[in-house]
A = this chain, B = another copy of it.
Amino acid sequence: MSAERPLVRARRLLAWAVEGIPELQAGQDLGAICREPLRVGGGLQPWDVVVVTHKVVSKAEGRVMSLAEVEPSDPALALAQRVGQDPRMVQVILQESRRVIRAEPGVLITETVQGLVCANSGVDRSNVGGGELVTCLPLQPDRSAAGLRRSWLDLAQGGPLGIIISDTFGRPFREGAVNVAIGVAGMPALSDHRGLHDEQGYLLHASTIGSADEIASIGELLMGKIDQVPLAVVRGFSWEGPDDGAGVLQRPAERDIFRR
């Protein structure tokens, strides 16, 4: 958290799905491929935020592998039996993780190499051209977001321009997954009302907001899951504060009472 008090605000929002992005192949330049689709309908403006589903970033960065080439280790075989998953899949999940948070039949929650806490280290079997292929999360999602921002900055007349790379996470206590921000560039990921007082002068409590997660959720509502619409644009925000990436959304393990 920065002492600068990041703040993200809007009074009126307009958001849309970006159509016409073709199926990505490994090594393709995602930024270049999306330029024309982003130009449709007037293109980007300063202060726009582009939400990008991580799947296309992962594909472009070659973070796809075939289970046919995976040899499960003994720990992966044991864990696979415990959770009831394909041992090769569990092998990949372990490779993508720092540690296992919960492992029960049907549930495997890890802390990923990126520091995220999610099911299956974010490794995903759908939407990658056949059941043997799996997608892993981008290794450095903030860096991926910063790269896309450089690619598209001129489309937004030099910015400000926010980029959010999203994934869909389940969560404790509540049914239904929601989109969260795993990579952020060009804007703060947290919005901090901590120092503000309400109209009676009472100090506002609990008021650091995961604004990039909330914006990622707008992306989910627009993109859905089946229509190959990997980008959405959200217009209407202004922000102040540091461009310090999505890492500030990760609660450190030692401060997380649900990770003990």
Q: CB distance B127 to A173 under 8 Å?
A: no
A 1-20 binary contact with B (CB < 8 Å = 1; else 0) = 10000001111111111000
Looking at A59-67, A69-77, A136-144, A249-257, the stretch in contact with chain B turns out to be A249-257
This chain's copy number in the assembly? 2
Q: CB distance B117 to A173 under 8 Å?
A: yes
Q: Is the CB of A35 closer than 8 A to any CB of chain B?
A: no
**Assuming the A-B contacts A217-B217, A257-B102, are A131 and B175 also in contact, with contact meaning beta carbons closer than 8 angstroms in the complex?**
no
Q: How many residues of A contact B (CB 8 A)?
A: 77
12 contacts between A and B (CB under 8 A): A8-B221, A13-B221, A14-B14, A15-B15, A124-B205, A171-B172, A172-B256, A174-B210, A175-B251, A199-B228, A207-B225, A209-B220
What is the CB-to-nearest-CB distance from A137 to chain B, in angstroms, rounded to a whole number?
14
Please give me the 10 A-B residue pairs with the lowest Cβ-Cβ distance, nearest first.
Answer: A176-B210, A172-B258, A214-B217, A117-B173, A13-B15, A12-B16, A217-B217, A127-B198, A176-B190, A193-B225
* Cα-based distance from A171 to B118 in the complex (angstroms): 13
Segment 134-178 of A: residues with Cβ below 8 Å from B:
168, 170-178
